[in-house]
Each structure stands twice: as C-alpha cells, then as structure tokens.
Amino acid sequence: MKKKLLALLFGTALVFSLAACGGGNDDAGEDTGTDNGGETTADAGDAEALYEKSCMSCHAADLSGGAGPNLQKVGAKYSEDEIHDIIVNGKGAMPSGLLNDDEATTVAEWLAAKK
C-alpha cells in the first residue's frame, strides 16, 4: 500500500513539474494580462515577475538553472536581440511562445544585463 501511494505521489509531482516547464501556452501571443489601469505586465517593466511566471520553473529562482540552462551570466554570451529571439522562438528543449513579444522584450533586456 505504501509503495502504491509513493508511486502515485511521485507520478503526480512529475506531471506537474513537466506541465510547469512548457505548459499553459493557450494564450501565447495574446495580450491578456493587465495589472493597473490597463497596463500590461510588460508595460509595467516587471521583468522579474514575468520571469517568475514563465521561466523560473526551468531556470530556478536565482537563475542558476535546472531543467533549463544557467542564466546568471547569459548577457555575456548572448545579446539582447539574441535572448529575445530565444524567448520568442525557443531553443533546444525550450518551447516557443511562453511570453508575448512585449513581455519577451522586457525579459530579454533584463537578462542581457546579467554579465
């Protein structure tokens, strides 16, 4: 009985972790998020909140990586435009469309400063 329960809990955790690292792309490209007075999250310039919402599950809270690569010094390797392109189009196992274009611009600018 304990083995079955453990297997069920492990399986459930695995499904949720896989879904968090690329799922929830139903509204990709749409500007649905507003937070104050009609401003989108990208308009508010809150790159860290966007990162937490869409990137942290694979790249870790401190940008050290996990399922995705370490981003702590990503600005030393890629330009802002290259980072934007990766966010919008995906690369390797990273899916495309996790952020809309404006959100990707905000996060790319923030990550490009990480050197």
Q: Which residue ranges are tagged as binding site?
A: 55, 58-59, 94
Q: Which residues are documented as binding site for heme c?
A: 55, 58-59, 94
**Contact partners, residue 112, CB within 8 Å, separation at least 6:** 74, 75, 78, 79, 80, 83
DSSP 36-47: BTTB-TTTTT-H
The span from the CA of 55 to the CA of 10, in Å, is: 23
